Amino acid sequence: MSWPGRLRGLTGLSATGRGLTGRGLTGRELPRRPRPYRVLVLGGARSGKSVTAERLLAGRDRVDYVATGALPDAADPEWAARVRLHQQRRPPHWATLETRDLERVLAAPDLTPGQLATPVLVDCLSTWLAGVMDDCGLWSGAPGADKALAARVDGLLDAWRATRRTVVAVSNEVGSGVVPGTASGVRYRDELGLLNTRVAAECHQVWLCTAGIPRRLR
């Protein structure tokens, strides 16, 4: 099974349905002048969190959209459908970066003034974590997997704190639903909950989307 498919098994994520959200958001909720500014948008599956994040950056001349999920292929049509939906919704002048190297995107020392002035939208931390857990060998029980995962998460948090860019990150809130039926599902839920908590603690704004309605928590 591909890791996008494994992610759906862990969390119950689905690629079906089209949510509408962000009603009332204008893009003026965030500072317009380039500056370090960190925002987290949380929500359950199909809650409208991605659309909310996109609308928070509405009207920007340029946005670096960081897609952290696996590249779509014919082996997983449901994942490919989800990716197509996000691509079709994206403004054509936004740049898409397909990478899990968030440390470099957020805080590389050689970022140019133009890059520093360009907001970043990370969609999403949930797929980033699932991919990193796979890279570290968590699912196969590789030696040192726990230590490798902790290092990757710490590296992301260091870059999140140090970034000089405006960044909006999307993540799933998976702790309020059904208790996962597998040990791997429980581990993923717990790791994502801890990651969300640590990221939120370093944010200027935190939003929660429920049933298509975004609400600012901070």
Residue (of 1, 56, 65) closest to 204 by Cα position: 56
Residues near 206 by beta carbon (within 8 Å), at least 6 away in sequence: 39, 40, 41, 42, 200, 216, 217, 218
Letter string b/e over residues 51-61, b meaning 16 or more CB atoms within 10 A of that residue's CB: bbbbbbbeebe
Evaluate the CA torsion angle 95, 93, 29, 211 in order and state its sign.
negative
Element (H, E) at 120: strand 120-123
Query: Across the strands, what pairs with 126?
Result: none
Residue (of 156, 166, 167, 161) closest to 192 by Cα position: 156
Name the catalytic one among 60, 62, 86, 164.
Answer: 86
Catalytic residue flag (residue 204): no
As annotated, the active-site residues are 86
